[in-house]
Amino acid sequence: MLHGIVVVDFSHYLPGPFASWRLAQLGAEVIKIEPPSGDRLRPFAEGRLFAAYNVGKQSVALDLKTEAGREQARRLAARADVVIESFRPGVMARLGLGYDDMCRMNEQIIYCSISGFGQQSGRSLLGSHDLNYMALSGLLAQLADERGRPVHPKVTLADFIGGMAAAERILAALFARERTGKGAHLDVSLVDGLTAMMAGHFAIEHGGGPKTGLSELSGEVVCYQLYETKDGRYMSLAALEPHFWRRFCEAVGHPEWTEAQWAPARPGEEVYDGLVALFREKTLSEWSAFAETVDACLAPVLEADEAKRLFAGGQVRRLVAMQPDGVWTAAHGPDGRWDVEAPPKVNEHAYLLKGEE
């Protein structure tokens, strides 16, 4: 889809690289600009995290603290369609690599700046990380235990949702350029996507409703709930539609529960206590087999290794490829670029600079 589109990516860690990884899987040529020591993400988890989100890219090492390095960066960017950067606001401009600098060389450049709070906000220059963005957006308060305490997520949602938002904006800008011939400076913040996700919660609370959104989706009713199994695992039941709930109740031999679809999910409630006891009668494996035969919106809560095998096997969709040197995941579906065997080594594609001299 993006064959012929060149992306020069100056970003580090996760949000920017996640965005350019998604563009690479759509066919774009992504040139990753790294310092001579490499992307700061490379040392984490023995390089596995870097590998996961940088396959399909080319690496060029440049020292942007030197004029020679900055000049080489300008030459690469001059022929690019898209530039991505995730430095603090103002840093790229001070290096002579900001949007205005790039635009003078290439009026059609699409320049995407990814930051925590945007280029010109009250918190633009404050350091923050994923946990902070989730906390400020109101999202973290939604991930609470039964006592209302926020639970520490094991996925950096702001990074990935922010990266997806950046890729979305870049694709829209490329489409607009086809119509107008004009480039753009995209100001993408990591709180943008999280705040957009909270729009419904904000609207409900503003209208006098609860802070936790729809009660039907917030773990307050028996038909949309997590239940523990005999072996200490969990099943997710999401039978919101009456026909799914009826089908589940009949399949487990409790048709009398059909009229109690919206019963409260709390101890002491007859149907809830009955469901808790029911799910503890079978193991996760047994309930998983049941879920494959009864169409009632029931699914096991899988661990990372189990989900990896599920999507590598293709029983649902083939989204994961397991190879001796790594595990590659398709960003957009089963048509992902499985021909990619490994992420780039630091400065592996230095030869690209020769064409810019």
Residues marked active site are found at: 129, 159
What residue type is assigned to position 229 of the chain?
A: T
Q: Which residues contact 317 (CB under 8 A, 6 or more apart)?
A: 311, 333, 334
Distance CA 15, CA 190 (A): 8
Cβ-contact 16, 82 below 8 angstroms: no
Cβ-contact 32, 60 below 8 angstroms: yes
Query: Helix (H) and strand (E) counts for the chain?
Result: 14, 11
Q: What is the DSSP string of 99-121?
A: HHHHHHH-TT-EEEEEESS-TTS
Cβ-contact 307, 257 below 8 angstroms: no
Cβ-contact 124, 117 below 8 angstroms: yes
Distance CA 33, CA 60 (A): 5
